Chain A
Amino acid sequence: MPTHFLIAVLACFFFSATVVAQTSLKLPETIKVVPEALTSEPVCDPIIAASWRDAQEIDGVKIRESRRCNPDNPALIAAVVKGTNNISMATLMETDLSADTIIKEDDIDGDGDPDRITIKLEVMELNGPSPDFEGLIPTFDIAPGIQPGLWVFAPKTRGMSTENFESVRANSLLRLPSPVIRVEVGDTVRLVLENSHYLPHTIHLHGVDHPYAGHGHDGGDGVPQTSESFLLPGGQRVYEFTPRQAGTMLYHCHVQTHTHLAMGLVGMIIVEENRPNNWLQTLNVGAGHVRHPSVAIQEEFDHEYDLHYHAMDKELHEIIQKYNDPRLIARDMNRLYDITDSTEDYYVLNGLSFPYTLRESLIIVEPDQKVKLRVANTASEMLAMHTHGHKATITHYDGIEHNPIAQITRDVYALAAAQRLDLTLNTTDDGLHSYGEGIWLFHDHREKGITNNGMNPGGNVSAIVYKSYLDDIGLPKSQGIDISKYFTEEFHQRKLPVWQDLDASGSLGAAAGQSAPIIDPATRITLIDFIFGLVAGLMLYMLFARREQTKQAMLQVVSKLKGSKGNKAND
Chain B
Amino acid sequence: MIKYITILFVGMLVINGQVMAAEDAESTDHDAHSGHDMDHGDHMMDDSDHSGHDMDHSDHSGHDMGHGDDHGMAHGDDHMMDDHSDHSMMHPGEDGHASHHGDGHHHMDDSHIMDHEGGMIMGQNFDKLPSSCDSISEEVEITVRAGREYANKFPGTMYAFDEQQWHVKPCAKVTWHFVNEDDIRHQFMMHGLPRYMYQNGMFHLEVTGPRTISGTLIVPATDETYLVHCDISQHMEKGMKAQLVVGNGGEDIPSIPGLTPYAFPDTYLHEDLPQVSNEDDDDSLLTQVDEFVTDNTPFSLIALFGVLIGLLSVPLILKLFSFRKNKVEAE
Residue ranges of A at the interface with B (Cβ–Cβ < 8 Å): 46-49, 73, 75, 85, 89-90, 93-96, 98-101, 122, 124-126, 128-135, 137-138, 156, 158-168, 170-172, 174, 194-198, 232-236, 323-328, 331
Contacts and interface: CB of A to CB of B under 8 A. Distances in A.
Interface string B231-247: 11111011000000000
Given A93-B108, A323-B266, A233 B159 contact: yes
A159 B107 contact: yes
Interface string B28-42: 000000001011111
Sorting the interface of chain B by its residue count into under 10, 10 to 19, 20 to 34 or 35 or more gives 35 or more
B68 to A, nearest CB: 13
Nearest to A161: B233
17 contacts: A47-B102, A93-B107, A99-B118, A128-B233, A132-B38, A132-B254, A132-B262, A133-B36, A134-B38, A135-B43, A159-B204, A160-B189, A198-B158, A198-B159, A234-B159, A235-B184, A327-B156
Q: Which 5 A-B pairs have the closest CB atoms?
A: A236-B183, A234-B182, A135-B40, A198-B158, A98-B118
Given A164-B107, A326-B238, A327-B156, A131 B255 contact: yes
A96 B90 contact: no
Nearest to A154: B233
A94 B38 contact: no
B265 to A, nearest CB: 7
A138 B233 CA distance: 7
B239 to A, nearest CB: 9
Given A159-B108, A165-B200, A234-B184, A47 B101 contact: yes
B12 interface: no
Interface stretch (B80-88, B137-145, B283-291): B80-88
B103 interface: yes
B147 A234 contact: yes
Given A196-B185, A233-B158, A324-B262, A167 B231 contact: no
Nearest to B102: A47
B117 A328 contact: no
Given A162-B43, A233-B159, A327-B156, A100 B118 contact: yes
Name, among B99, B185, B191, B262, the residue most crowded by chain A CB atoms within 10 Å (CB to CB).
B185
Given A122-B184, A327-B156, 4 more contacts: A124-B232, A161-B231, A166-B98, A327-B155
B233 A95 contact: no
Given A132-B255, A134-B38, A196-B184, A161 B232 contact: yes
A400 B206 CA distance: 43
Name, among A138, A160, A168, A194, the residue most crowded by chain B CB atoms within 10 Å (CB to CB).
A160
A132 B229 CA distance: 13
A560 B115 CA distance: 112
B104 interface: yes
Given A156-B118, A194-B208, A168 B41 contact: yes
Interface of B: 36, 38-45, 47, 81, 83, 86-87, 90, 98-108, 114-118, 120, 147-148, 155-159, 182-185, 189, 191, 200-202, 204, 206, 208, 231-235, 237-238, 254-255, 262-266, 268, 271
B232 to A, nearest CB: 6
A165 B116 contact: no
Contacts of B206: 158-159
Contacts of B233: 124-126, 128, 137-138, 161, 170, 174, 196
Given A89-B86, A125-B234, A133-B264, A195 B184 contact: yes
B183 A156 contact: no
Nearest to A49: B105
Contacts of A323: 266
Nearest to B33: A134
A130 B81 CA distance: 35
B90 to A, nearest CB: 6
Contacts of A326: 156-158, 238
Contacts of A48: 104
B85 to A, nearest CB: 11
B118 A164 contact: no
A131 B120 contact: no
A195 B235 CA distance: 12
A130 B106 CA distance: 26
Contact of B184 (A90, A166, A194): A194
A325 B158 CA distance: 9
Given A122-B184, A164-B107, A134 B265 contact: no
Contacts of B87: 90, 93
B117 A100 contact: yes
A121 B235 CA distance: 17
Contacts of A160: 107, 189, 231
A69 to B, nearest CB: 14
